[in-house]
Chains A and B, each alone.
Chain A
Amino acid sequence: MERHQTSVTRTPLNSVVVQRRSKSKSYRQSYRSCLGATSRLGFTPALTAQRLNASRRAPKSHDITKKVNPEHLNLLMKTEWQLSYVTPLYQFRHTQLKSYSRQLSAFIAAEKQQGFAVEVDGSHSFRVSFSVVQGMVETDHDAETILIQIHSSPAFARQDEPQKSVWRGCLTCINGNPDYIHSLLKDFICLPLFGSSGPQGLTSLVKSWFQQTFDCYFGPLEISNTSLQWLVALWTNCHTESNIQHLKMIWTLPAVPPLQVTYSVNPEDAWELWSSVRKAHQEENEGGEKAKDEAIVDIEEVMRFMQCLKSHFYRHFRLDLSAGSLDQVSTALGSAKSNGRIKILNSKYMITTLTLLTECALLKMPI
């Protein structure tokens, strides 16, 4: 029994930055949610000392189509990925992908017909291919992205029929925290973000093969409230370069029965609001750092932007969205859900989004 209340509102042009008491939850608290139920401590003694960045570069239109094989790019985009975090892979070699493909397909075949042993080189109904997505790195210490595809022939396929792609997964690390990556021993490859798309059964098989082969472990990666808000701001920020078409947010409010609010904002209005927030913030911080500020988006700006959106909604519907939680964000650039599903629709801004997600994944690392 969910009441759906949809509202499409136009943001007034002369929207003022409204300061309210409950301006926002403190950042610290939002980090907590980023770590699941974890503490406010970002500190762990041995390796990590990190939390979600409080400021990040504004997304620049990044033409990675030149760097990256378009075929691979196509596979990475337009797929809704279910995200997980992965602890560093032990003795993973980018040079051994062929052998991994063979081993994984044998493993899947063996698991599928549990109990029947299978010869390593036999032909299987599942064909696995590992490939490196060349160019999908931002810095030198990022490990190259790995794309895994599983093809299978349908049960009653003709001989010549091509195998169909049934499952896809990728392991990536974009702009990973260099301190963390360097603190690892050289036997470990850090590819903390794992996205999968396809049947659950295959996902868990691939995961368990990775666990057994590289002694790494997979845990679910949710996209926290703060991260979603970051995405709202970062995507809106792109509007002038690439039309975001719409800014749609879905909120859940803790009422009985739960109230779901779909809040769509006209892209022009969103952009206006965002740029006014940016301007106000930059004026506040007037003092030497102006030049640098152009490219940097600060968490305070994000929070203020969200606050404005919320207060606008409040003015019209007398409903304070800050009582609820942001569940889903979507624009023409992509969509993200709090349960860890993400879809990227525009390759230009992919890097920014993946950077944020890599950060979230690294925050989940146990050490």
Chain B
Amino acid sequence: MAAKLNASESLDCSDSSSSNDQSVSNRSSNRVAEKERRKNEAEDPFVLALKYFSDVEAGTPHQGNDDFENNLALVEKVAYSRGLPPEAISIMLEFAMSLRMGTSPVVRVLKCLIPASVVPQDAIVRAVVWLGISKITAGTQVLFIKWVLTIFDMIDAKDQLRAVYGFIFSFVTDENLCPFICHLLYLLTRKESVRVFRVRKLLDLQSKLGRQPFLLHLLSLYKVFCPELVTLSIPSRMRSGFRNHNSPWKSTLIIVQKRNGSQLASIVNPAVTLKDKTSSRKRKHWHLEIPALSSAVNKGAQTEPSRRKVVPLVQIQSFAQLLENMHRVELPAQMGSLLGSSLALQYLDCVQDESALLRLNFWLGYALHEEFLFCSDGGASQNSEEALQLLDKLLSAHHFLQEGFSSSEAFLYKFLNVWDGSLLRPQILGLLSNIPVVPSSQIGQLLFEPLMQLFFTSSPFFKCGLMESLNNMLRKWLTWHSVYALEDDLDISLNSHTSINMTLSGFKDSVMELVHFVGRLATIGLQLEGCHSLLFNFILDFYETVCDMFLKYGLPLIVMPPTGVFYPALFATDPVSVDRLAYIMYRYKVNLTSAKSQEKLTEQAFHISRQTFREFNNYLVFMVNCLWNSKMIHLGTDIQLGEELLLKSNVPQYWASFDLIHHPAFMNYAVDFHRRCWPGRKDMDINSIKHSKPWGWYLEYLFTQGYDGLKLFIQSNISRQLPAGDGQGDKLSTDER
């Protein structure tokens, strides 16, 4: 690539020569090399051939002209193998279009104009001028325009071409050229080029030629730029774009480009798509169709006084363009169209235009209501591809904006009451998790009642999905809080769009309601599903969020899990649940201690109720006793199990059956450890692990199995006194109050 550029640079100064790839060795070419190269070039037959074509006098006959024949053959050879350098293109095009040797060689020359890199636009402009004055046959004219269309993306600049837009436009009246000129104009058109007289001209043509796709495409582009000048409706089923005319050059171009390892954009494929395929959808689901992005027609009223220049959003293609035109972007006629474009959403998010957002919400709410609630087509389209696509788009917009639209929230409150829990479940649960903070006075009626019904009547997988969704919801609420809460002014505006203003205590109430609600669901859900381990996993996920509310999100609120979650997790048969519970308890401890120290530090800090501390301590003591001390001590806790009842169960040493060795979740580790520790022993006595030394090793062994939660829990809560006997001397370091 570098070599090639170098070559074309040198060509600019040595007027009548051409490139020779081999002659350019590297960038550090000194004067001697330069001279040498020039000499080589002068002798290069290709350069000489080009010289011939640029110097040949007008009127030279071509028939029986051996010089011409040889030189053209040489140029063709180079063109078909490596492509022609820019200068060569200029020379050959000039030669052909000026008809210096009559009309017959033109086609042959045009066909071999395969650019190696770029095409200088001067050459095109000159050729277009020749098109106007010389007597080129109609077929050849068409061929030339086809060639221009084919190599359009390779033209180095387009400003001069655009400058002669009017001149090119004048060719539309030519019946043969019209389709191709329209295509070329389509590629060149800018807002400035759309003029009333041109629109008139095209309309005239249309009335003469009938509804031709090329005219329509050009007109529709005019409409995009100046909707007030063109009233046109695009047929719903229009062939997409212009036809490709690159057939004479296509294969060669591909070969040449491949050979040159060209990084130029792939071959011109200027076919435009006006509407994407989805527009040909069945009429039935019209309410699901996201409106097309089109500029507003009816702007007379609003911009008349200060007719500042505006840029319709439809014309903005890149983020850079958006930044450039930020101050003068014109919103589209139908805001619903924004949903499909991330660029547009970006703009919307940035400007926070209330009425624009309201328009979007009206459309969205309308579409959702019609589809899922009013079921105007008898529910036939439910579960359809369109509904799925709409919700997916909506979700990705939510994801992009990191908040939900108020209309989808309003829709959900209604829809949850009639939802069967299976229709488009992932999408609906996704929307659910985007619901912004609901005031605690309404949260029960709006969310909990319908969700509770759904939860208790559905499969464990739905329960898992709902848990995940509620966890995400809580996380989003907490994130909003940590972003928007201001230190001194505790009033937080949580969602700028729905403008729900909330006090900190209001927010705390809502979070507390949600956490308690999930606690209830989890308790009963675990019972219903027999401690389904997947469900457990999702529930513990939720509590992993809950236990860290203070440290991670700065929310002065600590809520303990209910007994219905804590005990099943502690007695779970899979070690993962126990491990995760241990981690959660560890995080609770960290949060509580730091909250307490902060309370001591700053007088006005929040006050954690004694009840929370008591609950935590009870859990902690029980857990440590159970896992570590082989004791089942209930310190005035919520759960009371009669001693005699336990005795009646005939479990020997029932108090020890949930220590780290006998716990059903860890028993197999204990057995495995025993085997490794005492490989020779025939009779297994896992109680021997309890001795101080093997106990230490056993813990180490457990930790290496990846039970980090357990490790953190034990390290933070139990200070081991190494010389102690059987672990009984280990101390609890809880912060009892």
Q: A: which residues have CB within 8 A of B?
A: 35-41, 43-46, 87-88, 90-91, 93, 96, 99, 103, 106-107, 109-111, 114-120, 184-185, 187-188, 211-217, 219-220, 364-367
- Which B residues are within 8 Å of any A CB, using their own CB? 199-200, 202-203, 206-207, 211, 216, 219, 228-236, 238, 287, 291, 294, 297-298, 300-302, 333-336, 354-355, 358-359, 361-370, 373-376, 406-407, 409-411, 413-418, 438, 442, 445-446, 450, 498, 500
A214 partner residues in chain B, CB cutoff 8 A? 298
Which among A41, A109, A213, A366 is the interface contact of B362 at CB below 8 angstroms? A366
> Closest residue to A111 on the B side, CB-wise?
B233
Q: Within the assembled complex, what's the spacing in Å between the Cα atoms of A219 and B286?
A: 11
Task: Name the residue among B333, B359, B368, B418 with the largest chain A CB count within 10 angstroms.
Answer: B359
State the CA gap A187–B355 with chains docked (Å).
Answer: 7
- Point out the residues of chain A lying under 8 angstroms from B335, CB to CB: 215
- Are B406's CB and A367's CB within 8 A? yes
Beyond A38-B374, A45-B410, A219-B287, list 16 extra A-B contacts (CB 8 Å): A37-B373, A43-B446, A44-B410, A45-B409, A45-B500, A46-B407, A46-B410, A110-B233, A111-B233, A115-B233, A117-B202, A117-B231, A119-B203, A213-B297, A215-B363, A367-B358
Q: Is there contact, CB below 8 Å, between A367 and B376?
A: no
| Known contacts A38-B373, A96-B301, A219-B376; is-contact A115 B418 (Cβ 8 Å) | no
Asked if A90 and B231 sit within 8 Å, CB to CB, the answer is no
Provide a sorted-by-A list of 9 A–B residue pairs whose CB atoms are within 8 angstroms. Answer: A39-B415, A45-B413, A88-B362, A90-B355, A91-B298, A107-B233, A184-B358, A211-B291, A219-B366
Q: Are B445 and A41 in contact (CB under 8 A)?
A: yes
Contacts A90-B359, A217-B363 given; indicate if A364 touches B211 (C-beta within 8 A).
no
What is the minimal beta-carbon distance from B345 to any residue of chain A, in angstroms? 17
Docked-complex contact A45 and B373, CB < 8 angstroms: no
Are B333 and A87 in touch, CB under 8 angstroms? no
Q: Do residues A37 and B366 form an inter-chain contact, with CB atoms below 8 A?
A: no
Q: Note all chain A residues with C-beta closer than 8 A to B413.
A: 39, 41, 43-45
Q: Are B374 and A41 in contact (CB under 8 A)?
A: no
Q: Considering the chains assembled together, what is the distance between the CA atoms of A37 and B373 in angstroms?
A: 5
Q: A87-B362, A215-B359 are in contact. Are A115 and B231 (CB under 8 A)?
A: no
For the complex, what is the distance from the CA of A215 to the CA of B338, rounded to whole Å? Answer: 12
Given the complex of chains A and B, what is the CA–CA distance between A122 and B486 in angstroms? 61
CB atoms of B206 and A41 under 8 A apart: no
Cβ–Cβ contact A37 & B301, under 8 A: no
The answer to whether A366 touches B298 (Cβ under 8 A) is no
**Contact: A364 with B362, CB < 8 Å?**
no
Q: Are B375 and A118 in contact (CB under 8 A)?
A: no
A45 touching B498, Cβ below 8 Å: yes
Minimum CB–CB distance from B365 to chain A (whole Å) comes to 3
Whether A37 lies near B374 (C-beta < 8 A) is yes
B residues near A120, Cβ cutoff 8 Å = 228-229, 231
Contact A212 B417 (CB under 8 A): no
**Residue among A91, A187, A364 making CB contact with B369, cutoff 8 Å:** A364
Contact of B376 among A99, A118, A220 (CB under 8 A): A220
**What is the CB-to-nearest-CB distance from A56 to chain B, in angstroms, rounded to a whole number?**
24
A116 to B417, CA, bound (A): 49
Tell me whether B231 and A119 are in contact (CB under 8 A).
yes
CA distance A77 to B270 in the complex (A): 56
Q: Is the CB of B230 within 8 A of A36?
A: no
Tell me which residues across on chain B come within 8 A of A364, comparing CB atoms. Answer: 369, 374
Is there an interface contact between A213 and B333, defined as CB atoms closer than 8 Å? yes
Partner of B418, one of A39, A103, A216: A39
Tell me the bound Cα distance from A364 to B376 in angstroms. Answer: 12
Select A36's contact among B235, B301, B374, B416, beta carbons within 8 Å. B374
User: In whole angstroms, what is the CA distance A318 to B551 when docked?
Assistant: 71
In the assembled complex, how far is the CB of residue A57 from the closest CB belonging to chain B, in whole angstroms? 29
Tell me the complex Cα distance, A36–B206, Å.
47
> Hey, which chain A residues are within 8 Å of B362, CB to CB?
87-88, 215-217, 366-367
Q: 4 shortest A-B CB distances, which residue pairs?
A: A366-B365, A39-B417, A115-B211, A44-B410
B235 and A366 within 8 A (CB): no
Given A38-B373, A366-B410, check contact A114 B418 (CB 8 Å).
Answer: no
Q: Which of A35, A115, A213, A214 has the most CB of B within 10 A?
A: A115
CB atoms of B366 and A212 under 8 A apart: no
Partner of A117, one of B203, B368, B450: B203
Residues of B within 8 A of A110 (CB): 231-233
Complex Cα distance A88/B360, Å?
A: 12
Nearest to B237 among chain A residues (CB) is A114
How close is A46's CB to chain B, nearest CB, in angstroms?
A: 5
Cα distance, A188 to B355, chains bound together (Å):
8
Q: B373 — which chain A residues lie within 8 A by C-beta?
A: 35-38
Residue of A nearest to B417 (CB): A39
Cβ of B374 and Cβ of A117 under 8 Å apart? no
* Minimum Cβ distance to chain A for residue B363 (Å): 6
Known: A41-B446, A115-B211. A93 touches B374 (CB 8 A): no
A99 to B300, CA, bound (A): 9
CB distance B233 to A114 under 8 Å?
Answer: yes
**Are B418 and A37 in touch, CB under 8 angstroms?**
yes
Among the listed B231, B333, B410, which residue makes an inter-chain contact with A367, where contact means beta carbons less than 8 Å apart?
Answer: B410
Interfacial chain A residues near B500, Cβ < 8 Å: 45
| Cα-based distance from A46 to B406 in the complex (angstroms) | 7
Chain A residues closer than 8 Å to B230, beta-carbon distance:
117
Residues of chain A with a CB closer than 8 A to B363's CB: 87, 215, 217
Q: Which residue of A lies closest to B219 (CB)?
A: A117
Known A110-B232, A110-B233: A117·B417 in contact at CB below 8 Å:
no
